[in-house]
C-alpha cells in the first residue's frame, strides 16, 4: 500500500491530496447525514454528495497513481485542471445539498440553473482531460507495457461511461420511463421501477480502477503476451457490459428485472468473453510449455 501511495504522490500531488481531502469530506458528510435526516426526491439529502466524494476519492487517487506509471513526469497541467474542475463540481453538489435543493437537472430558480450550467462545463472539461490522459497511455504504455495497456483501456471504457452522462443531460433526467426520485436500490438509489442510466455511467467509469487491478492481479502467472491479451479481452467484455446496461436502461427496464432480450445479450456476452479468456490462457500455457521443453 505504501508503494501505491508513494507512486500516486509522485504521479500528481494535486490529485493525490484532493483524493485525501475527499476521503475526509466523505467521513464528515456521513456523520452529517446521521444528524441531518432531511430527504430530497425521496432519498436522504446527503447521499448524493457522499457518493460523489467517494467517487472522487477513487477517480482522483487512481489518476494520480496512473500518472506515476509514466516514465517521466507528464500531463501536470492536465492533472491540475482535472483537480480544479473536480473541486468546483464537488463544492456545488455539497452546497446545493446544504441548501436542500437539487444540484443536477435543477432549473427551479436562477441560482440552480446557473450552478447546473457551471457543472455542465466542468463535466466537459473532465471528459476532455480524461481523453487526453487515455491517449497518452495508449501512445506510451509507461513502465509496464501490460499495465499501461490496462490503464489506457480502462480510461477509454471510462470515457464511454462518462458519455452516458451526456445522454442523461439530453434527457434532463437519469431515469427512463419513470420520474426521477422514485423507488430505488439502497444507497445508490438506482430505480427499481424503470430504467436508470446511472448504472451504466457508474460501471463504465470504474473501469479506470477495475482493469489496472486485473493487470496487477495477473502478476507473473502468464507471460507478457498472455497478460496483455487477457486485459484486451476483459476490456472488450467490460465495454460490452456498459453498452448492455445502457441499452437496458434506455428501454425503461430496471436493473433487477431484465427481459428475455437482456438476458440473452448478457448470456452471449458472458459466454463470448469466457471463451476468449479460455483461448488466450490456453495459448499462454502452450507458450510456457514450449519454453520449459
Q: What is the mean pLDDT of residues 123-135?
A: 91
pLDDT band of 109, cuts 50, 70, 90 = confident
User: Is pLDDT of 37 > 70?
Assistant: yes
Boundary residue ending a domain (143, 169, 194)? 143
Would you state the pLDDT for residue 108? 81
Q: Are residues 175 and 119 in the same domain?
A: no
Domain extent at residue 93: 1-143
Q: Are residues 56 and 85 in the same domain?
A: yes
Q: Which residues contact 91 (CB under 8 A, 6 or more apart)?
A: none
Q: How far apart are CA 49 and CA 293, in angstroms?
A: 58
Would you state the pLDDT for residue 220? 75
User: Is pLDDT of 73 > 60?
Assistant: yes
Q: How far apart are CA 223 and CA 225, in angstroms?
A: 6
- 149 vs 89, 155, 233, CA distance in Å? 29, 10, 12
- 206 vs 71, 201, 215, CA distance in Å? 24, 9, 15
Q: Are residues 169 and 107 in the same domain?
A: no
Cβ–Cβ < 8 Å for 214, 230: yes
Q: Are residues 291 and 222 in the same domain?
A: yes
What the block records as the C-alpha cell of 29 is 458528510
279 domain residue, yes or no: yes
- 109 vs 23, 100, 164, 166, 243, CA distance in Å? 31, 13, 26, 22, 35
Beta bridge partners of 43: 40
152 domain residue, yes or no: no
Q: Which residues contact 185 (CB under 8 A, 6 or more apart)?
A: 192, 255, 256
Would you state the pLDDT for residue 33? 92
Q: What is the pLDDT of residues 151-170, one digit of tens each?
A: 999 999 999 999 999 999 88
Q: Are residues 136 and 172 in the same domain?
A: no
Cβ–Cβ < 8 Å for 153, 66: no
Q: Are residues 286 and 215 in the same domain?
A: yes
Q: What is the pLDDT of residues 202-260, one digit of tens each?
A: 999 999 999 999 998 887 778 888 899 999 999 999 999 999 999 999 999 999 999 99
164 domain residue, yes or no: yes
Q: How many domains is the chain partitioned into structurally?
A: 2
- 108 vs 48, 95, 111, CA distance in Å? 18, 16, 8
Phi-psi region of 109 (alpha: psi -120 to 50; beta: other; left: phi over 0): beta
Amino acid at each position: 500500500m505504501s508503494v501505491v501511495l508513494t507512486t500516486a504522490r509522485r504521479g500528481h500531488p494535486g490529485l493525490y491530496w484532493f483524493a485525501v481531502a475527499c476521503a475526509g469530506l466523505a467521513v464528515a458528510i456521513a456523520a452529517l447525514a446521521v444528524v441531518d435526516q432531511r430527504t430530497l426526491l425521496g432519498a436522504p439529502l446527503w447521499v448524493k454528495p457522499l457518493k460523489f466524494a467517494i467517487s472522487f476519492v477513487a477517480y482522483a487517487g487512481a489518476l494520480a497513481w496512473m500518472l506515476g506509471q509514466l516514465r517521466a513526469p507528464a500531463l501536470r497541467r492536465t492533472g491540475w485542471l482535472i483537480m480544479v474542475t473536480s473541486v468546483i463540481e464537488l463544492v456545488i453538489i455539497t452546497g446545493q445539498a446544504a441548501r436542500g435543493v437539487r444540484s443536477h437537472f435543477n432549473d427551479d430558480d436562477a441560482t440552480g440553473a446557473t450552478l447546473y450550467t457551471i457543472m455542465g462545463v466542468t463535466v466537459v472539461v473532465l471528459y476532455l482531460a480524461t481523453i487526453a490522459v487515455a491517449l497518452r497511455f495508449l501512445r506510451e504504455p509507461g513502465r509496464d507495457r501490460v499495465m499501461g495497456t490496462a490503464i489506457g483501456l480502462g480510461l477509454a471504457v471510462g470515457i464511454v461511461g462518462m458519455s452516458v452522462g451526456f445522454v442523461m443531460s439530453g434527457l434532463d433526467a437519469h431515469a427512463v420511463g419513470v420520474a426521477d426520485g422514485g423507488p430505488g436500490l439502497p444507497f445508490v438509489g438506482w430505480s427499481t421501477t424503470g430504467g436508470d442510466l446511472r448504472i451504466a455511467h457508474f460501471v463504465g467509469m470504474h473501469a479506470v480502477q477495475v482493469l489496472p487491478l486485473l493487470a496487477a492481479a495477473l502478476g507473473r502467472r502468464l507471460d507478457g503476451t498472455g497478460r496483455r491479451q487477457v486485459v484486451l479481452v476483459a476490456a472488450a467484455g467490460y465495454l460490452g457490459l456498459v453498452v448492455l446496461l445502457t441499452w437496458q436502461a434506455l428501454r425503461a427496464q430496471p436493473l433487477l428485472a431484465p427481459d428475455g432480450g437482456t438476458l440473452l445479450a448478457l448470456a452471449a456476452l458472458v459466454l463470448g468473453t469466457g471463451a476468449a479468456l479460455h483461448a488466450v490462457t490456453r495459448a499462454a500455457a502452450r507458450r510456457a510449455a514450449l519454453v520449459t521443453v
